[in-house]
Structures are given as structure tokens and as C-alpha cells.
Amino acid sequence: MGAYLDASVLLPILIEEPASQAVDAYILAGAQEFLVSDFAAAEVASALSRLSPLEALDAAARISTFGGRRRVLRPTSLAIARRLHVRLVTLDRRLAAAAREPDVAVEEPTS
């Protein structure tokens, strides 16, 4: 089963945040395919645009490390997870709660 990573999980991979250690551990432990949508990429780009140019460039380089384990999709997080029958990986508690209502599997990386 694949796992869809939303923007709340991608940012701690790219920049140091309190959740970075838990997210890094989740990513390193995963053997499944990680899915990332254009929508999440746009959200991440928007967040990164508020950083200094050097931090944004470094973060953009780090996202490329997903390589073959990343497939780019277009619809929103919950719709993707539901349609593809994959887990939704998020740090957004409201999104996680909403996802559980229509019976979407949710994982929240924690330390």
C-alpha cells in the first residue's frame, strides 16, 4: 500500500521544524511508495517562498531525494488517498480527523 504525503509532512523534511525528527524516522522506515501531488508541491513552494532564497534552494534540492519512490498526482490530499486506497500521512490534525470520517487510513508521524 502506498502513502500519500501532504504538505504538512513535506515541510519538516525540507526545513528543520519540531516534527522533523519524527517525519524523517517515518520516511526512513517506510518501504512503500510515497505519493506527492502537485497541490502539495504548490503548498510547499508557497511556504518556502517565505524563507530566504538560500533556504528555499536547499529545500528544493532535498525534495528531489524522493526519486523513484515519488509519483506526482494532481487532486487534493483527501481525494487522492480515498481514490487510490492509500494511507494519508499528515501532521494536520483537522485533515486527519476529516479523513477518518470517510474511512481513509491515516498516519500521523510522531516522535
CATH number, domain 3-107: 3.40.50.1010
In the prediction, which pLDDT does 56 show? 63
pLDDT, tens only, 74-110? 558 888 888 888 999 999 988 888 887 777 899 999 8
- Contact of 2 with 84, CB cutoff 8 Å: yes
pLDDT, tens only, 33-67? 898 887 888 888 878 877 766 666 666 666 665 54
DSSP state of 5: E
| Percent helix, strand and coil across the chain, each to the nearest 5 | 55, 15, 30
- What Å distances lie between residue 62 and 6, 35, 47, 57, CA to CA? 16, 16, 15, 9
In the prediction, which pLDDT does 78 show? 86
pTM of the model: 0.75
